[in-house]
Amino acid sequence: MRLTAKSEYGVLAAIDLAVSFGGGPVSAREIAERRRIPPRFLEQVFVSLRRAGIVSAQRGARGGFSLNRDPDDITVLDIVEALEGPLSASVCDSERGEVCGQAGACAAAPVWSKATQALRDVFASTTIGELAGAQVVLDGSPADRA
Amino acid sequence: MRLTAKSEYGVLAAIDLAVSFGGGPVSAREIAERRRIPPRFLEQVFVSLRRAGIVSAQRGARGGFSLNRDPDDITVLDIVEALEGPLSASVCDSERGEVCGQAGACAAAPVWSKATQALRDVFASTTIGELAGAQVVLDGSPADRA
DNA sequence: CTAATTCCTACTTGATCAGTAGTGTTTGCA
DNA sequence: TGCAAACACTACTGATCAAGTAGGAATTAG
């Protein structure tokens, strides 16, 4: 019952991009080093984020990635769903109702739906912008990063 | 990001036991047939529930399982944690703080904690007794099951 | 032209899930 | 007393997925 490493790395990377939002693109390798993420793995994460329309890629020398939207308009849910697919707490959940063998007579289904919804609420109510603010504080003076 | 089938089966089985709470033990095979769960797999689920102190087992002919406590005193969280271990939404979560490589400077950690907490809240606030009530309604007259 | 960078596909290794299987142990009942 | 029904334990298997690695192609700044 846990998210995969992709979400974790994706959120960290998005925070990193948010911190330098407005500047030029940041390379995956740079972020990987700074956040201790396997570089080639992070590359793949970024490809997913690009395909989801969250970041843009600039290829070639001095290229890298940058956020497509204001960090305050990107939620953790955006990142997580881009990397994990739609959130669902149990097999017997999902929009298609009766996925478990209980054929519509499953009294447990509402619990799984509520669980999924609770997760969505948490993730949807936290923006990358907020987290970036916290990150700057944790890292010390933002000037260190400029 | 989903629970395993064990939780799903475990909750269904607990509901089933709750519906006939007060009567004698119910065999795993009977529940397996009624809820369309692989019988030998359900057996294992029950062993875990017994070890967690949620059900008691009565061995031998006419044996089976019964709930140890009143269904209203058993939450979905009890079942889920008995079967999946402690809930945690991400690697970088857990009581031990800094499991991710960010060494205490991880701005994302609070989100994962909040997510875990939200899940716990949902599961802890739903009792097997409630679900059993819903199940009886779904199945039709409770007399059908006596 | 070259070095840096993203992009795409495939592969590998290990873990985990879902279920099956065999065998042992306990117990109600005829 | 014996048998059948039930739980108990351990081990195994096939499939899937997670996490990361690898190789090379395309793009671009300088």
Measured between alpha carbons, how far is A42 from A40 in angstroms, rounded to an integer? 5
Predicted confidence (pLDDT) at residue A98 exceeds the cutoff of 50: no
In a domain, A50, yes or no: yes
Residue A53 CA to its chain's centroid (Å): 12
- Using 50, 70 and 90 to split pLDDT, how confident is the model at B72? very high
pLDDT tens-digit map of B12-24 = 999 999 999 999 9
Mean pLDDT over B66-84 rounds to 97
pLDDT of residue B139: 79
pLDDT of residue A141: 57
Q: What is the DSSP string of A71-131?
A: GGG-BHHHHHHHHH-S--SSSS-STTS--STTTT--TTHHHHHHHHHHHHHHHHT-BHHHH
pLDDT of residue B138: 85
Domain region containing B39: 5-86+127-145
In a domain, B65, yes or no: yes
**Exposure string over B55-74, b if 16+ CB within 10 A, otherwise e:** beeeeeeeebbbbeeebeeb
Q: A25-29, A86-90, B69-73: which has the minimum mean pLDDT?
A: A86-90
pLDDT of residue B146: 47
- Using 50, 70 and 90 to split pLDDT, how confident is the model at A146? very low
**Average pLDDT in chain B:** 89
Nucleic strand C under 7 Å from the C-beta of A43: yes
Nearest Cα residue in chain B from A80 = B1
Residue B73 CA to its chain's centroid (Å): 13
Residues 8-27 of B with CB under 7 A from strand C: none
pLDDT of residue A36: 93
A-chain CB neighbours of B39 within 8 Å are none
In a domain, A96, yes or no: no
**Average pLDDT in chain A:** 89
CATH assignment of the domain containing A63: 1.10.10.10
End-to-end CA distance of chain A: 38
Report the number of distinct structural domains present in chain B.
1
In a domain, A99, yes or no: no
Helix (H) or strand (E) holding B98: none
Tell me which DSSP letter residue B77 carries.
Answer: H
In a domain, A71, yes or no: yes
Q: Quick check: B12 contacting A, CB < 8 Å? A: yes
List bases in chain D with any atom under 7 Å of a protein Cβ: 4-11, 17-23, 26-30
Q: Quick check: A112 contacting B, CB < 8 Å? A: yes
pLDDT of residue B59: 96
C-alpha R_g of chain B: 18
Residue given tokens 């955006």 in the structure block: A78
In a domain, B95, yes or no: no
Mean pLDDT over B65-79 rounds to 98
pTM of this structure? 0.90
A59 nearest nt, CA–C1':
C6
Q: Identify, with chain letter, the residue nearest to nucleotide D4 (CA–C1').
A: B61
Higher pLDDT, A59 or A92: A59
In a domain, B139, yes or no: yes
Measured between alpha carbons, how far is B90 from B96 in angstroms, rounded to an integer? 12
Whether B134 contacts A107, CB under 8 Å = yes
Predicted confidence (pLDDT) at residue A34 exceeds the cutoff of 80: yes
pLDDT of residue B38: 97
3-state secondary structure at position B94: coil
Instruction: Tokens for B96, please give them.
Output: 């031990």
In a domain, B122, yes or no: no
Mean pLDDT over A57-73 rounds to 97
Whether A36 contacts B101, CB under 8 Å = yes
pLDDT above 70 covers what percent of chain B?
86
pLDDT of residue B69: 97
pLDDT of residue B96: 45
Instruction: Tokens for A35, please give them.
Output: 């956040």
